Amino acid sequence: MDARKLDKIIEQYVSMPGQVLSTLEAIQEEEGYVPKEAMQYVSEKMGVPFSQLFSVCTFYAAFSLKPRGKHIITICEGTSCHVRGGPRLKAAMLDILKINPEEKHAKSITTEDRLFTIETTRCLGCCSLAPVMMIDGTIYGYLTPKKIPEILRQYEWKKK
C-alpha cells in the first residue's frame, strides 16, 4: 500500500474518536488485510505505538494480518453441522481447492490465487439447514461434497 493512500486514510480519521480502529478498518477494506508495513507507517504518522496497533489487530477477529481472498467461505463446525457431515464438507472443500493438507488445521486458509479464504466458526445459526457454509454472507444449506463445485463456480472459480 503506498504512502499517498495511507495518508488519505489517516487524514480522514485523524480527528475522530476511535481513530485507530477506523484507520485500521479502512486499511483492511482497501487491502483485504492489514499489512505490517501499513501499521508501521500509521504508527509513525499518528504517534501511536506499533505494539498498540498490533494488539488491536490481533485482539479483534475482524482484522487479518495475512492476505485474504476475494471471497470469504465460512464453514460451520457447530454440533448440528458436525453430526450431519460438516467435517466431510470441509475436507472436500480443501481437496477441491487444492489446499495443502498441512494447512488443514489453520484457522484461516487462503488459496494461492487469493480468490477464496476458508474459515471455520462454531455456529452460523442455521442448524435446521445443516451442514451449512456461508460465502460472502450468503448461506448454503443441506450441503454435500458434490454440491461444492457448483456453488464455487458462482464465484469465478474454474475447476482445475
Over residues 60-69, mean pLDDT: 89
State the pLDDT at residue 105.
Answer: 75
**Confidence (pTM):** 0.76
**Planar angle of CA 71, 74, 78, nearest 5 degrees:** 175
Band (pLDDT 50/70/90 cuts) for residue 56 is very high
Asked, for residue 66, whether it belongs to a domain, the answer is no
One domain, residues 149 and 88: yes
One domain, residues 55 and 77: no
One domain, residues 31 and 91: no
One domain, residues 138 and 77: yes
H-assigned helices in 1-147: 3-13, 19-31, 36-46, 50-59, 79-83, 86-96
Distances (CA, A) of 60 to 5, 49, 54, 95, 137: 23, 17, 10, 30, 19
With pLDDT > 90 as the criterion, what percentage of the chain qualifies? 74
Q: Are 110 and 67 in contact (CB under 8 A)?
A: yes
Q: In terms of residue numbers, what domain contains 136?
A: 71-153
Please write the tens of the pLDDT for every residue from 93-115: 999 999 876 777 777 899 989 99
User: What is the rounded CA–CA span in Å between residue 39 and residue 17?
Assistant: 19
State the pLDDT at residue 160.
Answer: 57
Please write the tens of the pLDDT for every residue from 7-55: 999 999 988 888 999 999 999 989 989 999 999 999 999 999 999 999 9
Q: Determine the distance from the C-alpha atom of residue 61 to the mean position of all C-alpha atoms in its chain, rounded to a whole number.
A: 9
Over residues 141-154, mean pLDDT: 95
CATH number of the structural domain spanning residue 121: 3.40.30.10
Band (pLDDT 50/70/90 cuts) for residue 135 is very high
One domain, residues 36 and 91: no
One domain, residues 83 and 106: yes
Asked, for residue 20, whether it belongs to a domain, the answer is yes
State the pLDDT at residue 159.
Answer: 67
User: What is the rounded CA–CA span in Å between residue 3 and residue 74?
Assistant: 33
> What integer best gives the mean pLDDT of the chain?
91
State the pLDDT at residue 136.
Answer: 94
